[in-house]
Structure 1
Amino acid sequence: MRSRLLSSSILAAVVAAGLALSGCAAPASPESSPSASAEATTRVVATDQGDVTIPAAPKKVVLLNYALAGYLYDLDVPVAAMTPEATNSDPVFSDFWADDAEKAGTEFLPWSAEGFDLQAILALEPDLIIAGGLGFPLMQATKAYDQLTAIAPTVIVSGSLTEWQQQFSFLAKDVFDQPDVYDEALAAYDEKVSAVKGEISVPSGESVFLSFTADQRPFVLIEDRGLPKMFSDLGFRPAPLFASGQFQPYTAGGDSFEISTEQAGQLLTQDSLFVFGFNAETIDLATLRANPVYSALPAFQEEQAYQFPYWSQRADYDESMALLDLVQKQFAKKGQ
């Protein structure tokens, strides 16, 4: 099995190359002092790992979380390569930004449950690495941070940024210095939320949001972040299951917690149920109805179980705008 760890010889070569370049550099002229040059060509970004000095205008960016790609393409960032949506999967560009990725010549990097392929990243010679976000990509990036920074300046998007607004704002304002792009996106989104909220009929009672992995393991989305929070902005009432204190996220910085099928019958007593696949269309309502545990739930009994695309779970800006259209269609007031 191929190692995903950077060998000591490779790391040594990276350091040696940097020292050689610094040793051969010509003396700086008074009018182009190192401090003046640094101010013009670099930016300092505050992260959970400390301040990171990055290129002000990066030329080759490696992205280690597929879920963050939409933001980078909206910001016209030169994404040279990225990890696939899931480990050990056949990589496919999202319909939301496939044209941008193809135009940029973006490649896919190998990615497994063991970690990132650091040698493949090194071979690309990036001048900036963007990683982090939510869940597994954040855990792996944090674990490999020292090795990643030996390759290029690495910015890990904090797991505390659970909403698309927070992630996009950080990337647009702090990292790539394009605040206007984010401000315009936020204004368009807020306007659309207001319009959709006035045109839908929200089911009464509480709702729960359930995601299924490929092996049919159910995960409840935490109610005060991400997708459930977006629905609450539209007038839905996500059930406070996580707030009960009985559950822990499946991983640090995660946006969901796992339950068993047996627990589902006891916990999922809410009036409405929203179902999603995890990283793929892994589930459908017909399959759940065939399971007596789920078919007995109030949401199925009252025909208030709804399925939305898998990408809704961790929707970025463009996906959130598309999701608003789907919500408007699903819950449109009668007569509209």
Structure 2
Amino acid sequence: MKILLSRLSLLFAMPLLLTLTGCDFSPTDPSLPQTQTAAERGWPRTLITARGPVTLAHPPARIVSTSVTLTGTLLAIDAPVIASGSTSRNSTVADEQGFFTQWSQEAKARHLKSLYITEPNAEAIAAEVPDLIVIAATGGDSALKLYDQLSAIAPTLVIDYGDKSWQQLAQLLGKATGHEADAQRRIDGFGQRVAAVKQAINLPPQPVSALVYYQDGRGVNLWTDASAQGKLLSELGFTLATLPDSVTPQTSMGKRNDIIQLSGENMASGLNGNTLLLFSADDRTVKEVSANPFLQHLDAVQQQRVYAMGPDTFRLDYYSASNMLSSIERHFGRQ
């Protein structure tokens, strides 16, 4: 506690004021001296979030992300993120530090520090002397319960990533950090790769069912055309299968409209695509689906048109979306 209080005293002396709300930004002040660098123009700027307006006096230089989901986008736009919360270590989706495998190497190259595993720690965050803290509004990696403590340490940006594509997050975080150009560069480069992959593949039999398969084999989550996965598939020319009228899906997860839950008899009936694309999955998952006695009668299974999109594709950031494109090229690239 003494450490935390000393850090707070230091941070209160910093010439950086914040009032947080959303993501609208004040235009560049024409009265600013022309001797300023490009990175400094447009500052201070006010951000609008669910917790109210926040004013940043200058581009942040020491960003702490409490959300391992948002950290990947900060890395992708070359924002100065120095430390991050993490998830369970050495899993199918995370490395020995608890960082997602799709950007694990980038995190190591940038010497990103892992602050804690899952449970947010205000003292560990304060010890990094951040000048911007990023919090997820919802999800398992949200530190929203510590908002009052963290906002006393540094400007604290609350972001809801559940209803945004990684491109929208990149633009939002680009404006918040002064890395707008880097964000646009990533978005443009990815768009060019999508166009190239679309020209380089032969589509499998359409339409397709895009899904996450439960490990217990009793149900699936079906991606809708409102999902980031569905939108990317559409950009590549894929068509998502629509549910038969006879299938009544369960209530989608929470208030999400990007996923439909199917279980029991609805599981097989709802997987009516001519091809099955498995997300958050590897080749082992393909074997499990193909061996499921409730799915073996499906034409896609019998014709071996079941493909894994990769273990990191449940939530798409720049890195995992790029890996998804690689999987599609590998499965459907023209010979």
Which of 128, 132, 138 lines up with 1:128 in the alignment? 132
Q: Are 1:182 and 2:183 matched, yes or no?
A: yes
Root-mean-square deviation (CA, aligned residues, Å) is 3.8
Aligned pairs for 1:219-238 (under 5 A) are: 219-238=221-240
Once the two structures are TM-superposed, the CA of residue 132 in structure 1 deviates from its matched residue by 1.9
| TM-score of the superposed pair, with normalisation by structure 1 | 0.75
* Equivalent residue, structure 2, for 1:110: 116
**178 and 16 in structure 1: CA distance in 2 versus 1, 3 angstrom threshold:** closer
Aligned pairs for 1:294-313 (under 5 A) are: 294-313=295-314
* Equivalent residue, structure 1, for 2:270: 267
* Number of corresponding residues: 307
* Equivalent residue, structure 1, for 2:170: 168
Distance (whole Å) between structure 2 residues aligned to residue 149 and residue 97 of structure 1: 28
Once the two structures are TM-superposed, the CA of residue 282 in structure 1 deviates from its matched residue by 9.9
Distance (whole Å) between structure 2 residues aligned to residue 326 and residue 21 of structure 1: 50
Distance (whole Å) between structure 2 residues aligned to residue 20 and residue 179 of structure 1: 28
* Equivalent residue, structure 2, for 1:157: 159
Structure showing the higher helix proportion among its residues? 1
* Equivalent residue, structure 1, for 2:22: none
The residue type equivalent to 1:292 in the other structure is P
* Equivalent residue, structure 2, for 1:25: none
- Asked whether the 8 Å contact 2:310–2:327 carries over to 1, the reply is no
* Equivalent residue, structure 2, for 1:43: 45
Once the two structures are TM-superposed, the CA of residue 233 in structure 1 deviates from its matched residue by 0.7
Q: Are 1:148 and 2:150 matched, yes or no?
A: yes
Give the secondary-structure state (helix, strand or coil) at the position aligned to 1:270: coil
| TM-score of the superposed pair, with normalisation by structure 2 | 0.75
**19 and 225 in structure 1: CA distance in 2 versus 1, 3 angstrom threshold:** closer
Distance (whole Å) between structure 1 residues aligned to residue 260 and residue 121 of structure 2: 28
Distance (whole Å) between structure 1 residues aligned to residue 53 and residue 225 of structure 2: 31
> Which runs of no fewer than 5 residues in structure 2 stay unpaired?
15-31, 33-39
Distance (whole Å) between structure 1 residues aligned to residue 298 and residue 84 of structure 2: 40
Give the secondary-structure state (helix, strand or coil) at the position aligned to 1:108: strand
Distance (whole Å) between structure 1 residues aligned to residue 97 and residue 43 of structure 2: 34
Distance (whole Å) between structure 2 residues aligned to residue 273 and residue 19 of structure 1: 52
> Which runs of no fewer than 5 residues in structure 1 stay unpaired?
1-6, 23-35
- Asked whether the 8 Å contact 1:78–1:104 carries over to 2, the reply is no
Q: Deviations over 1:262-299 (max 9, x none)?
A: 43123212212111337xx6951112222201223332
